[in-house]
Amino acid sequence: MKIKTRSIIYFLSGLAFGVVLVIGVASRKIEPGTTAVEMSAEGRPQYKWHAPTMPASIDFCGEPVPLEKWEVREKLDRELLVNSYLHGSQLYILKLSGRYFPIIEERLKANNMPDDLKYVCVAESALQQNALSHMGAASFWQFMKDTGPRYGLEINEEVDERFHVVKATDAACMYFRDAYAKFGSWTAAAASYNCGMAGFAKQAEFQQATNYYDLIFPDETNRYVFRIVALKHLLSNAKKFGMMIEPTEEFKPLKYRTVSVEKSIANLTEFAIANSSSYKMLKIYNPWLRGHKLTVKPGKIYEIQLPQ
């Protein structure tokens, strides 16, 4: 057989096989419920949404969540359902986690705190440094203006260390240490971060119980720990829930050089320019600087970060 004739036969055979295969796939009946999108009778796409799978077991700071209790299971189920479909928000948190989790995790470890407490920060601010609540709570850990100073944060018209991720995390660690010493549980300490230590203690005393999962609170605190646990589960298993962020897509920690300031700065724009930067970058790297100037009291030193 000539080579040219053989090639033509092979081509026609392959073409025939391909046609048969395509016809077979196209004519194959797809069973209802097997696809994520179906066409309605009106010819419109109908999306099908599924509740996320509940974990067989889960803990917070090493303390098991009692999923064997139906009301506990249902509360976690609700928070998983609500938060799992906030795709844009969750993807943005995953991107921000590349920048802020290394800092927060380092400070939690340095303060001998459980790593899971970082999810309290996620629940509070979604890792957005400029987050502000209608009650006046600010930034990463959502400290109130009158609460921050009790945990070592400087707050005035020129400086607000609630916006300083390292100092705010250290302040949060101080709170959690006090709350754990009072209640003997990281779960209770986290709940009290929402309702206050006095609020938690009042409910525990009246209801004659100390375990968060055995208590009932106003709705926000009722849902608070469950939201934290749900965020832990979703973010720790992001790809399983369809949130496809690669490590290269995460926002990276900012690279900086530090300038120690011991004297007052009359104009922060001029200071930034004199240090080969700009007012915009000065504020991005130091969101805790809230005014146009910086007053430095005798003996005080501020560490200002600027782009490398």
Q: Average pLDDT in the 293-307 region?
A: 97
- Which pLDDT value is given to residue 34? 56
174-210 pLDDT per residue, tens: 999 999 999 999 999 999 999 999 999 999 999 999 9
* Predicted local distance difference test score (pLDDT) of residue 10: 46
Share of the chain above pLDDT 90, in %: 81
The predicted model scores a pTM of: 0.85
**pLDDT tens digits, residue range 217-269?**
999 999 999 999 999 999 999 999 889 999 999 999 999 999 999 999 999 99
What is the predicted pLDDT for the residue at 42? Answer: 81
- pLDDT > 50? residue 30: no
Contact between 243 and 91 (Cβ < 8 Å): yes
Place 51 in a pLDDT band, splitting at 50, 70 and 90. Answer: confident
pLDDT digits (tens, 9 = 90+) for 61-100: 999 999 999 999 999 999 999 999 999 999 999 999 999 9
Phi, psi of 305, deg, nearest 5: -100, 140
Judged by phi (left if over 0) then psi (alpha if -120 to 50, else beta), residue 210 lies in alpha
Residue 308 CA: distances (Å) to CA of 119, 256, 301: 30, 5, 21
Can you tell me the distance from the alpha carbon of 217 to that of 205, in angstroms, rounded to the nearest whole number? 12
Q: What distance in Å separates the CA atoms of residue 200 and residue 263, rounded to the nearest whole number? A: 44
Res 31: pLDDT? 53
Residue located via tokens 């600087």 = 289
pLDDT greater than 60 at residue 8: no
- Cβ(186)–Cβ(60) below 8 Å: yes
User: Is pLDDT at 16 greater than 80 in this prediction?
Assistant: no
pLDDT recorded at residue 26: 43
Q: Can you give 204-261 as a three-state secondary structure string?
A: HHHHCCCCHHHCCCCHHHHHHHHHHHHHHHHHHCCHHHCCCCCHHHCCCCCCEEEEEE
DSSP 8-state assignment for residue 138? B
